[in-house]
Amino acid sequence: METNKRKISILGSTGSIGTQALEVIEKLDDKFEIIALTGGNNVDLLEQQAKKFKPKYICVGENAPRKPEISGVKVLCGNEGLEEICSNTENDIILVAVSGKIGLRPTLKAIENKIAIALANKETLVMAGDIVMQKAKENGVKIVPVDSEHCAIHQCIKDISQVDKLIITASGGPFLRKSVEEMKSATVAEALAHPRWNMGRKITVDSATLMNKGLEVIEAHHLFNMDYNNIDVVVHPQSIVHSAIEYKDGSVIAQLGLPSMHIPIQYAITYPERFEGIKSKSFSFADIARLDFEKPDFGKFPSLKMAYATGKIGGSATVCLNSANEEAVFAFLNGKIRLYDIYSIVETMLEQHSAVKSPNIDEIFAIDKEIRLKTQELIQKITQTSLK
């Protein structure tokens, strides 16, 4: 008899977070029942997952190379499919682990249907944090963050009204000890060689430019309703302290753990309970021996300054930051531009953008589209100039 199992769907089960979430669920198979799994283009992996985990539905991306057929499993497609899954109130919780803007509408749909959210997809908050958090509040829906820093803060906070400051840690990425000159000539492989975390390609490049940290500052502002002036970033190369908060009285509470995304994923999908689950080894301060902290270099990594500035402007400014950055990162990954061009491209787009104060969802998508087109034009100009 099926009792008390938490019914879960994973959007983006074929990705880095999604596959690790399935590893967590495999260890806790008496605690979860999977309603739906979704992928984008990796139909082979989604098929394997569906055979193993036996969801009721699967969903492939709009442009997937083929539609799988598995007996007993309903196959959906594209954004409509994701929204259908998020409208199914059988779900107790939905893990949003797709990458990019595709996560926004399904997340809102799940919130409207009062389904709890474990949120990995940071673009959802960067693009529409005001709307998403307001809707979650109206519908009494919990959003538990998967992003390790925000998950750490979530674990530290008892009463947000007593908190003075959030302290977000950053590993510093592969270029922490490299010069600006070395960063300028960095190859894609060098940017993808993250010293601590094994993640999807887009977020790995963002970690190299520290744009990821900038997006996380915006994410933290929305999740914890904290003023930007009360959010600090500190570089911590060992990635053991995942973030911290400072209370009004000066007490600082931090969350520590070995650098593994399994832990925050498990926390977010089992919250408020805790289980042994995926835990592989016990934590030892003596083994870690030292923890270092330093100020981030705002000059070498202009992304941080841009993120704070756009966050403070709010409205569509953060949509512009996100869309321009994503297009620039893809162009870098495709060998069209240099790593450091990402900064100048995003900066140019931000300078040209007049922010709309409180855009609705349709306006957000329209602005996203417009910024992407403009960014692509700029990228084309840069590519042509560098070929001359």
Judged by the rule CB under 6 A, the positions of this chain that interact with ligand NDP are 12, 14-18, 39-42, 61, 97-100, 102, 120-123, 147, 197, 199-200, 203, 261
**Closer Cβ to ligand NDP, 14 or 323, answer by number:** 14
349 binds, among ligand NDP, Mg ion, none (CB under 5 to 8 A by kind): none
Smallest distance, Mg ion to C-beta of residue 68, A: 32
166 binds, among Mg ion, ligand NDP, none (CB under 5 to 8 A by kind): none
* Count of chain residues binding Mg ion (CB under 5 A): 3
Whole-angstrom distance, CA of residue 364 vs CA of residue 189: 33
Smallest distance, ligand NDP to C-beta of residue 101, A: 9
What is the number of the residue whose Cβ is closest to ligand NDP?
15
**Closer Cβ to ligand NDP, 41 or 383, answer by number:** 41
Whole-angstrom distance, CA of residue 139 vs CA of residue 161: 21
Please work out, in degrees rounded to the nearest 5, the angle formed at the alpha carbon of residue 102 by the alpha carbons of 97 and 105: 100
**Closer Cβ to ligand NDP, 12 or 311, answer by number:** 12
120 binds, among Mg ion, ligand NDP, none (CB under 5 to 8 A by kind): ligand NDP
Long-range contact pairs involving 302-306 (C-beta distance under 8 Å, separation at least 24): 302/343, 302/347, 303/209, 303/210, 303/211, 303/213, 303/214, 303/343, 303/346, 304/210, 304/213, 304/214, 304/217, 304/233, 306/214, 306/343, 306/346, 306/347, 306/350
Smallest distance, ligand NDP to C-beta of residue 251, A: 27
Smallest distance, ligand NDP to C-beta of residue 46, A: 6
The number of angstroms, rounded, from the C-alpha of 79 to the middle of its chain's C-alpha atoms is 19
Smallest distance, ligand NDP to C-beta of residue 109, A: 14
What string marks each residue from 126 to 165 as x (binds Mg ion by CB under 5 A) or -? Answer: ---------------------xxx----------------
Strands, DSSP E only, in the chain?
A: 6-11, 32-38, 57-60, 74-77, 93-96, 116-119, 143-145, 163-170, 231-235, 241-247, 252-256
41 binds, among ligand NDP, Mg ion, none (CB under 5 to 8 A by kind): ligand NDP
Secondary-structure percent of the chain, ordered helix, strand, coil, rounded to 5 = 50, 15, 35
Tokens for 357? 């104060």
Q: Does 219 bind Mg ion (CB under 5 A)?
A: no
**DSSP letter for each residue of 7-44:** EEEEETTTSHHHHHHHHHHHHTTTTEEEEEEE-SS-HH
**Closer Cβ to ligand NDP, 200 or 247, answer by number:** 200
**Closer Cβ to ligand NDP, 78 or 383, answer by number:** 78
Q: Is 299 exposed, middle or buried (0-12, 13-18, 19+ CB in 10 A)?
A: exposed
Smallest distance, ligand NDP to C-beta of residue 385, A: 30
Smallest distance, ligand NDP to C-beta of residue 22, A: 11
**Closer Cβ to Mg ion, 36 or 261, answer by number:** 261
User: Which residues lie near Mg ion (CB under 5 A)?
Assistant: 147-149
